Every structure is written in structure tokens, then in C-alpha cells.
Amino acid sequence: MNPTSQTPSTLTIRRPDDWHLHLRDGDALRAVVADTARQFSRAIIMPNLRPPVTTVEQAVAYRNQILKALQQRDEELSYKFEPLMTLYLTDNTSVDDVQAAASCEHVYAFKLYPAGATTNSDSGVTDLLGKCRAVLDAMQRLRIPLLVHGEVTDPNVDVFDREAVFVDRVMIPLRKDFPELKVVFEHITTRDGAHYVRDAQGPIAATITPQHLMYNRNAIFQGGLRPHWYCLPILKRELHRQALLEVATGDSPRFFLGTDSAPHARGLKEQDCGCAGCYNALHAMALYAQAFESVGRLDRLEAFASLRGPAFYDLPVNDGSITLIRQSYVVPEELPYIDGDTLVPLAAGQALTWRLQP
């Protein structure tokens, strides 16, 4: 849809997609799935469950669980939302697994978690080019994207430098050996990552979250340690946030929307070793709109949210549209979740300048 539909008080764009989403399973899935379906037509679903989704059969079963959960929440939404499934890449993934994925209409990519990089990543790859070379070759040949959590897990590397080091240690060697492999550098957080994706040769793209466009690392520490702002990759310095805004709102088709929305119960976040992840699915498009408006580029939101991702994944753009209203929206302090606990959304209690029209 042409962004000229914008008025001083509304913004209407073609219905967007979320190219990086955590939905969990069971009761947690049922608690959060409708928040995404209200805004997005499709979403790439992360496979880091316990146990991880490593086979086509598991992916199809998980997809059916997602659709059933959505129908239980609101049957009117179920037809609008399509989960796009991924498989968890491990040291034991085989070429047969890749061929099975390529033959399945519901599987769209493999996900690389370096072992120990984030939540439920203990089954991740320990030596990508050493143990997964045949699999990567098959993915390149069959045009199946590799989605990369781009951080090294070396304990000697500062947590704020792990993405930049990943570019040098993993991404550059990977793409030198497999130059035609489609790669998505997920949830980039640094100028290093943004400039690498912007300038690299071959089929590469990156997703960017609303929290990394809206906030820098000061948000984690304002008024004390604030665990609901803690995610991995962690929020970075202001210069990196500005670099992300520049590429997200710029002309390159390589950067598109991926919320990395990750629900965690309040009790698991607020403890001596709280888990990583921000829940933003409730108000993702309002956050993105505010970020784009902050640099005077609301006219570029549709390309970032609705057009570039489908082009990279060789999918059609969505029918229909969503409308955002320029109206103050106070993010709820908490949401109902599971097991008697609650879920604290990103920027809880803060006022945003946009909201999704019901």
C-alpha cells in the first residue's frame, strides 16, 4: 500500500510480517499467540523449545499446535496468520534433514544458535564449519536460508563485543566458503553488524528488533537494574542504535522487521539469574512506528515491515492492511501469563505515541 495514505493522525500500510518470533508451546503459546496475529500475517517461528524442533515432523506438529492455540484464543484471527516453521541446526543435523526440509511446504529455514548463546540454546552448534559443512552445502544448493544468532560464546569476549567478533570469526569465513548460501543475520544490534550486512556480497539480510531501534543500554540500568529490558543480544551504546535506525529507514532492501519477541514469566526474569528476552508482540508495530517517526521516516515503515522480508524469502506480499493511530498508548504494567505468574511487556508503564487500530 502506498504510504501516501498517511494522514497527520493515522498511518495505513500493507499488512506486515514478523521474521523472528518466539511463541513457546503449551499454555505459554496460548497466552501470547493472538498478540502477534492481530498485527502480522506471517511469522518465522523460532525452534528453541525443550526439546528443540529438529525434524520436519516436529515442525509440522508445532505448526498445528500454534494454529490450534490461535483458534482457541480467537477463531476470527486464525485465517489471517501463517506460522513459517524453522528447524534447529545441531552438530548432528544431516543432509537428509535438509532435503526433507526443502520438500516440506511449511519449513522455511534452519536456525543457528551457537551453543549457549541464549535461551534454550544448549543444543546449538559447537563448530559450524567443522561439523556442518555438508549440511551448509546442501542448504546452499537447495536455497534454504540459514538464520544466524550472531554472537560468539567465548567467555573471554566482552558481552557488548560478541556480535562484532562473530562477524570476523564466523560470518566472514562462512560466507567465503558458501557465498551463495542465503543468510539472515538476526536481531543485529551494532554498527559493525549493520555495515557488514549493508556492504557484503551475495544473498544476505538482517532483522532488527523494536527494542534495539528504540533504546540503548542505559535502559537496562535507569533507576536500578531492570531485568525486563535484558535481552540477548544485549542493548548496545547509542552510536549503535543510531546506525540501526539509519539502515532500517534507508534504501537497502536487506533490512527488515523481526521482533524477537520472547515471553518469560515475571518470576523467571526477576531473580538472581534472570533470563534474557523482551516481550514486545503486544505493541510491536507501535514501537516501530515511534522509532521511524523519531528520524522523520514514517514513509519507510511499510518497506521495512511489509515488503523487504517477503522479497528475501521469495514470498508474495500480504493482502490487506493495518492502520496505526497517532494516539497515546500506555503499555500495560503486566499481562496474564501462566502458572499464576504474569508477563511484563517491553516498556511497561510507558506512553507510546502510536497504537494499533482495533
Domain boundary assignment for the chain: 10-356
What pLDDT does 79 receive?
A: 56
What pLDDT does 319 receive?
A: 94
Cα(122)–Cα(162) distance, rounded to whole angstroms?
Answer: 17
Region 116-130: mean pLDDT is: 73
pTM of the model: 0.94
For residues 328-349, one letter each, b for 16 or more C-beta atoms within 10 angstroms of the residue's C-beta and e for the rest, the string is ebebeeebebbeeeebbbbbbe
Average pLDDT, rounded, for the chain: 94
Check: CB of residue 92 under 8 Å from CB of residue 127: no
Q: pLDDT category, 5, cuts 50, 70, 90? A: very low
Note the pLDDT tens digit of each residue in 302-354: 999 999 999 999 999 999 999 999 999 999 999 999 999 999 999 999 999 99
**Is pLDDT at 281 greater than 70 in this prediction?**
yes
Region 117-132: mean pLDDT is: 76
| CA proximity to 47, closest of 85, 80, 13, 99 | 85
Residues of each annotated binding site: 20, 22-24, 48, 111, 149, 187, 232, 260, 264, 276
For residues 163-202, one letter each, b for 16 or more C-beta atoms within 10 angstroms of the residue's C-beta and e for the rest, the string is bbbbbeebbeebbeebeebbbbbbbbbbbbbbebbbebee
Residues of each annotated binding site for Zn(2+): 20, 22, 111, 149, 187, 260
What pLDDT does 3 receive?
A: 42
Cα(274)–Cα(267) distance, rounded to whole angstroms?
Answer: 8
Q: pLDDT category, 4, cuts 50, 70, 90? A: very low
Region 288-298: mean pLDDT is: 97
| CA proximity to 3, closest of 318, 325, 298 | 298
Burial (CB count <10 Å: 0-12, 13-18, 19+), residue 270 = middle
Note the pLDDT tens digit of each residue in 55-88: 999 999 999 999 999 988 765 654 589 999 999 9
Listed in sequence order, the residues at least 6 apart from 343 whose beta carbon sits closer than 8 Å to its beta carbon are: 31, 32, 263, 264, 265, 266, 279, 334, 335, 336, 337
Note the pLDDT tens digit of each residue in 219-271: 999 999 999 999 999 999 999 999 999 999 999 999 999 999 999 999 999 99
Residues of each annotated binding site for substrate: 22-24, 48, 149, 232, 264, 276
Q: pLDDT category, 8, cuts 50, 70, 90? A: low
Region 34-47: mean pLDDT is: 96
10-356 belongs to which homologous superfamily? Answer: Metal-dependent hydrolases (3.20.20.140)
Check: CB of residue 81 under 8 Å from CB of residue 17: no
Region 170-175: mean pLDDT is: 96
What pLDDT does 117 receive?
A: 57
**Is pLDDT at 120 greater than 70 in this prediction?**
no
Annotated active-site residue 260? The verdict is yes
Q: Which of 72-76, 176-180, 215-219 is predicted with the least confidence, judged by mean pLDDT?
A: 72-76
Identify the active-site residue in 18, 35, 192, 260. 260
